[in-house]
Amino acid sequence: MPIEIRPIETYAEYMDCEALQRATWGEFGVVPHHLLITAHKSGGICLGAFDTDAPGAPMVGFVFGFLGRAEDGRLKHTSHMAAVLPAYRNARIGERLKWAQRDHALAQGLELMTWTFDPLISRNARLNLAKLGAVCRTYLRNAYGPEPEDPAGRLPSDRFRVDWWLASERVAARAAGAHTPPTGEALRAAAPLANPDPFAPPALPEGERLLIQIPADIDALKERDMPRARAWRYQVRALAEMAFAAGYVATDCARDGEVGLYLLERG
């Protein structure tokens, strides 16, 4: 599939970014075109993916972020959103957008990029940790809160914040295609599982490595069994917060049948 990835350039393309957001998430949290323009012209990065084989070369995905500052004072790129139209998913367009975003951030002299994602969405976890080489040591409770008053209707918007060290060896190896993501079987052989049952108390973090389990498809689970999905949210929240406080870092992820597996390592 011939896809061109390049910076957004025209007013119409910024408006297409708005439309793409609505197609992906509805009206919630749409970044308007005037803010995209301002941030992009002030050190931010706004890239589009265009299907050059289709009439008019329409935009089918985009990624957007802006300059921020890390806890240690260094400048970083804060990646705010990435979206791909449903008909173009599973074509690695999102992954290509992230690598292009990395190239632009490196050209700005930046070493670090951060963003957030729902830790229960296993496909995003595999992309961010296994394929891109980001790591996570930060859990954000209900990042877009407040905590839902009706817990049966929706889950709290908890997020992992990942750190993508753009020039690190682990990231460079993935960029060069020199890294093969692990299988679920390999992760199970590498570390013990801390939470085999979402309704049971998890094991306390100990040892050099541990695994945290999540559902393979949280959206489907919410449709058929919301109490179980909610149990996963609160168990993973408690376990990840304990592990990060004890010095563990989430470094990898793989799918294993009906679950996803995070690998956490000390340091």
Residue 15: per-residue pLDDT: 97
Segments in 176-266 forming alpha helices (H):
184-190, 218-224, 226-245
Q: Report the C-alpha gap between 232 and 196 in whole angstroms.
A: 11
User: In sequence order, what are the beta bridge partners of 45?
Assistant: 65
- Which residues have C-beta within 8 Å of that of residue 210, sequence separation ≥ 6? 191, 192, 193, 194, 203, 243, 248, 264
pLDDT tier at 208 (50, 70, 90 boundaries)?
very high
Q: For 57-101, how does the pLDDT look when each residue is reduced to its tens digit (9 = 90+)?
A: 999 999 999 999 999 999 999 999 999 999 998 899 999 999 999
pLDDT at 151 over 80: no
pLDDT tier at 152 (50, 70, 90 boundaries)?
low
Low-confidence winner among 38-42, 52-56, 149-153, 160-164 (lowest mean pLDDT): 149-153
For residue 202, give the 3-state DSSP assignment.
Answer: coil
pLDDT at 44 over 70: yes
Q: For the chain, give the percent of residues with pLDDT over 70.
A: 99
The stretch 126-132 carries a mean pLDDT of: 97
pLDDT at 215 over 90: yes
> What are the phi and psi torsion angles at 23 (to 5°)?
-65, -25
The stretch 128-153 carries a mean pLDDT of: 90
Burial of residue 52, with CB atoms counted within 10 A of its CB: 0-12 exposed, 13-18 middle, 19 or more buried:
exposed
Residue 228: per-residue pLDDT: 95
CA 207 to chain centre: 27
- Strand-pair category, 209-215 with 59-69: unpaired
Q: For the chain, give the percent of residues with pLDDT over 90.
A: 92
Contact criterion met (CB below 8 Å) for 102 and 230: no
pTM over 0.85: yes
- Whole-number average pLDDT of the chain: 95
Would you state the torsion angle of the CA atoms of residues 66, 69, 70, 74, taken in this order, to the nearest 10 degrees?
110
Give the CA angle between residues 124, 231, 248 to the nearest 5°.
55
62 closest CA partner among 83, 32, 78, 86: 83
Q: Report the C-alpha gap between 159 and 157 in whole angstroms.
A: 6
The two three-digit tokens of residue 167, written as one number:
């020039």
pLDDT tier at 213 (50, 70, 90 boundaries)?
very high
pLDDT at 225 over 90: yes
- Identify the residue with better confidence: 206 or 146: 206
